[in-house]
Structure 1
């Protein structure tokens, strides 16, 4: 049973979502005070549902604190539907964004999509190994310069798509179409923001890229120089 934390200062909404999600098989813990949530061990939960507008600590600040300690999936809620809020949330490491008002069924669908990304299939024993980093899809592990680097689920999904489609021009539409489990917004900038986040974690300089190259007017190309793949390693071990 997946465990969901909901942080929101609206008691009526908390009760509604808790009842709905529990009826659909989730174990839910609600927090009306974000400071109480900050004192908990985030990693006992599988996903956090986080409101942006709260009187004690706003959702952006709370997300910053979460990302200092954990890469747990975070879905943000807000009554403010402007593009700026969405971009800021994505830049800070949110995995998805849902404007209020919304139907509980849509929230449930987005939660399930995010959690599916954490259960990659047919990826065991595969390692994408490049000159500057190693990527282990089955464990969502990224090693850059010999050090483990945490990935959000959206960053993981995007990196997996890049690694499996090297040296191809990938338009923004192609990226959105082939990473359907990410709940993309309708504006192109959401793709650019996520690519920017991924570049930073990979240590890739967008002015002189060696991993993700911008193809102006079209999209992106994954150009990392490959060392070996996990499949090749497995074949060698079996010989």
Structure 2
């Protein structure tokens, strides 16, 4: 499970985002008080969502302190529209800046993209019994040393599943991440998943998470 630290003084907004992200196996722990957030063990979390307008301490100061002490990706989430806030936040070391209001789906997509860059989303406790290897440059996937014969759409889906092994990949993310699915539908994705399961065989377990998406099990 991905653990996210959120420092946000709008309790209603934090609750809405927390419930949305929980659908994708992302656990959010929110602190309205920035001092409590900073003392919560930042290094135990995989990512920080940070508001700028906070009680007692400006979010940019929080950002600076976190960057100086911890190696954790930071997404600033703020209603402050001043361009200088965005520039300063990114200069201080924040990885992304998402102005409010926004669709929670966009926050989810940015979280996944950022975690993928930090390689945190690939970490699993157990090694799989098979060797499924991704070569992004060659756009190839090998299973136990044998290259799989994949269509571009199949490669896109399997690439996401491998990168997020053990976590649920939503249908929305698949459509969001690739031009191959720019006009995709649930039906066309189901056909591709059926073809993929046949190509990878019984040893590779791709689970359908009803109503959400798919998961490559370890």
Give the TM-score normalised by the residue count of structure 1. 0.49
Task: Kindly state the Cα deviation for residue 23 of structure 1 after the two structures are TM-superposed.
Answer: 1.4
Question: Which residue of the partner structure matches residue 41 of structure 1?
Answer: 41
**Cα distance between partner residues in 1 of 2:116 and 2:109:** 11
SS at the partner of 1:16? helix
Task: Kindly state the Cα deviation for residue 122 of structure 1 after the two structures are TM-superposed.
Answer: 5.5
Mapping of residues 45-84 of structure 1, within 5 Å: 45-84=45-84
Q: List gaps (5 residues or longer) in structure 1.
A: 124-180, 182-239
Contact 2:76–2:98 under 8 Å retained in 1: yes
Task: Kindly state the Cα deviation for residue 38 of structure 1 after the two structures are TM-superposed.
Answer: 1.1
**Cα distance between partner residues in 2 of 1:80 and 1:30:** 20
Contact 2:32–2:54 under 8 Å retained in 1: no
Contact 2:8–2:54 under 8 Å retained in 1: yes
Deviation sequence 1:102-155 (CA, Å, 0-9, x none) = 1101111110110110228759xxxxxxxxxxxxxxxxxxxxxxxxxxxxxxxx
Give the root-mean-square deviation of aligned CA atoms.
1.8
**Cα distance between partner residues in 1 of 2:71 and 2:78:** 21
Question: Which residue of the partner structure matches residue 8 of structure 1?
Answer: 8
**Cα distance between partner residues in 2 of 1:55 and 1:30:** 14
Question: Which residue of the partner structure matches residue 93 of structure 2?
Answer: 93
Is residue 18 of structure 2 the alignment partner of residue 18 of structure 1? yes
Structure 1 stretches of 4+ moved >3 Å: 120-123
SS at the partner of 1:52? coil
**Cα distance between partner residues in 1 of 2:38 and 2:82:** 27
Task: Kindly state the Cα deviation for residue 47 of structure 1 after the two structures are TM-superposed.
Answer: 0.3
Contact 2:34–2:55 under 8 Å retained in 1: no
**Cα distance between partner residues in 2 of 1:84 and 1:17:** 26
**Cα distance between partner residues in 1 of 2:5 and 2:11:** 14
**Cα distance between partner residues in 1 of 2:108 and 2:35:** 25
Deviation sequence 1:147-191 (CA, Å, 0-9, x none) = xxxxxxxxxxxxxxxxxxxxxxxxxxxxxxxxxx9xxxxxxxxxx
Question: Which residue of the partner structure matches residue 231 of structure 1?
Answer: none
Return 90-99 or 39-48, whichever deviates more: 39-48
**Cα distance between partner residues in 2 of 1:97 and 1:122:** 30
**Cα distance between partner residues in 2 of 1:58 and 1:21:** 26
Question: Which residue of the partner structure matches residue 110 of structure 2?
Answer: 110
Count how many residue pairs are aligned between Structure 1 and Structure 2: 124
Mapping of residues 194-209 of structure 1, within 5 Å: none
Task: Kindly state the Cα deviation for residue 81 of structure 1 after the two structures are TM-superposed.
Answer: 2.1
SS at the partner of 2:108? helix
Is residue 32 of structure 2 the alignment partner of residue 32 of structure 1? yes
Give the TM-score normalised by the residue count of structure 2. 0.54
Contact 2:42–2:70 under 8 Å retained in 1: yes
**Cα distance between partner residues in 2 of 1:22 and 1:92:** 29
